[in-house]
Amino acid sequence: MMSNIVQKDAGIIVMHNIFWFRNNFRLSANEPLLQCLKNSTSLSFIHIINPKINELNLEGNKKNLFYLRALIELEKKLQKKGHKLYIFHGEPKEVFAQIMMGNKINEVYAEKIYAPYELEEENIGIHTNFIWDSTLINESDLPFAINELPDTFTTFRKQIENNKIRVFSEDTPKFPSKTNLKEVKEFKLPLLPEFMFTGSVEFLNDYPISEEGANRYVDDYFSTQKPSTYKSTRNELSGMNFSTKFSVWLSLGFISVKQVFNKLKEYESLNGENESTYWIFFELLWRDYFRFLHIKYNKQLYLKNGLERNLQRINYSNENIALINSANTNSTFINAAINELKKSGFLSNRMRQILASFIVNEMNIDWRWGADFFQKFLIDFDIYSNQGNWIYIAGFGTDPRGGRKFNIVKQKKMYDPNNQYENKWNENT
C-alpha cells in the first residue's frame, strides 16, 4: 500500500491528492475544495455511494433518482474543467484500500459530517483533511464553547443574533492537473428511467439538478416578492409558493447556506426587511442549531431514549409499520401524506410534523424507524435536521416540554378543510 508519499520534481513538492465529494456537490463557496485546490499539484475527484447510507432502489424512488441525476450533472461539470469524477460503490475504507493499492496519493480532502455513521466513514487509512463547511455561523464565531451550546433554540438564537455573522467569499483557484487513478474498479451509474418530479417539487423539472440549477432557482425566488410574504404561507401543505424549497438545493450542497444568506441580505437591501424575511433567516439558524447539537451530543441523539431528559419509557410496537409502509392507516389524511412522500419525495414542514407525531404517538412506532423512513424517501433529506426534528417530536431531545403530540383531526380541519390535499394524494392508490 502506497500512501503519504511526497515527491519532489525540480525541487518542487508534488502533492497528488484526492477530493472526496460527500454532501457538497458544488465547486464554488466550498471550503474543503478550496483548501484542497490550494494544496494540490495534481488531483483526482471521487464520490462514494455507500450502501449503508444510500440504497439505490430506482423503482419510483424520487430521492434516488434525484441523487443520481445530481451525480451525472457533477460529472459533466468536472469534465468541463478537464477532470473526471470517479464513482465507487462500497464502504469508504474498502474503496480507499483499493485506490491506494495502485496509486501514489498524499492526502484526501473532504467535507466534515458530524453524524455517527458518517464519522465512522473517516477511518480510511490515509492522511485526511475533513473540513467543516455546513453552517452559516462558523464554530469559531460562536459566543460559547460547543459543549456549552444552549439546550433551547431560543436561547441559542438570542445569543447568536447579538453577534454579527461573518460570511466569507473567495474565488475558487485554478484547478490543478488531473491524476488518473489506476487499477480501480469504478461503479457504472445505472441508466435512469424517464421520470418527472411531481407535487410541490414539480419546479425541479425546470432546473438542472446541479450547482447552476440551485443558483438560478434561488435567484429566481429572490427576484419575486415571495420572501416578503413567506411567514404567512409557510404552514401550507402543498404548492410551489408556500415555502422557499431551499432545502432541496442545500441537501446535497449544490449551494451553501452562506450563499443563501448573502442572497437574502441582498434582497433585504433592495426590498426592505420584514417579519417574513427575518423568518427565512430564523430557519437558517434552526438548520445551524441542529448541526451544532450533533457536534455536542452526537450518538446520544440516535438512542431510543435520546438524551434521557424524558423519564417516560415507551415499549414501541412493530405491528403498525406495515400500515405506514402501505399507506393503509385509519386516517385518510395521514395516508395522503405517506403517498405524497413516496410518490414525490417531498412533504411540507407542517405535514412532516403531523406525520411524525402520528407515527410516534398514534401508531406507537419507534421514532428512529420514522427517521429512517423519511431518510429513505425525502429528496431534501438532511441528517441533522431530520434527526433533530424527530427526536424533538418524540420528546427525547433538548426540549424541556417533552415532545409534541398533534391532534390529527384538528390539523386536518385547519390545513385541509376542503379535502384538496387528501383527494390529490389518495386518488389512484
Question: What DSSP assignment string belongs to 80-136?
Answer: HTT--EEEEES-HHHHHHHHHHH--B-EEEEE---SHHHHHTT--SS-EEEE----S
Q: Is residue 205 part of a domain?
A: no
The predicted structure's pLDDT at residue 9: 45
Shared-domain flag, residues 39 and 126: yes
Residue 199 belongs to some domain of the structure:
no
Q: Are 130 and 112 in contact (CB under 8 A)?
A: yes
**Residue owning grid cell 449503508:** 52
Provide the residue range defining the domain that includes 221.
135-169+210-302
* CATH number of the domain residue 311 falls in: 1.10.579.10
CATH number of the domain where residue 70 is located: 3.40.50.620
Place of cell 452562506: 258
192 in a domain, yes or no?
Answer: no
- Domain identity same for 105 and 52: yes
Does one domain contain both 141 and 256?
yes
Give the per-residue pLDDT at 163.
74
Number of domains in the chain: 3
For residue 55, the model assigns a pLDDT of 79
Q: How far is CA 104 from CA 35, 38, 58, 158, in A?
A: 20, 19, 36, 49
Domain co-membership, 289 together with 356? no
* CATH number assigned to the domain comprising residue 292: 1.25.40.80
- Full pLDDT tens readout for the chain, 429 residues: 334 444 444 445 668 999 999 999 999 999 999 999 999 999 999 999 999 888 787 778 999 999 999 999 999 999 999 999 999 999 999 999 999 998 999 999 999 999 999 999 999 988 999 999 999 999 989 999 999 999 999 999 999 987 777 776 667 778 999 989 999 999 998 888 889 999 999 999 999 999 999 999 999 999 999 999 999 988 888 888 889 999 999 999 999 999 999 999 999 999 999 999 999 999 999 999 999 999 999 999 999 989 977 666 677 888 899 999 999 999 999 999 999 999 999 999 999 999 999 999 999 999 999 999 999 999 999 999 999 999 999 999 988 677 789 999 999 999 999 999 999 999 865
DSSP state, 361? I
Residue 19 pLDDT: 98
Beta carbons within 10 angstroms of residue 200's beta carbon: 24
| Domain presence at residue 201 | no
Burial of 421 (0-12, 13-18, 19+ CB in 10 A): buried
DSSP string, 245-288: -HHHHHTTTSS-HHHHHHHHHHHHHHH---HHHHHHHHHHHHHH
Pairing of strands 12-14, 7-9: antiparallel
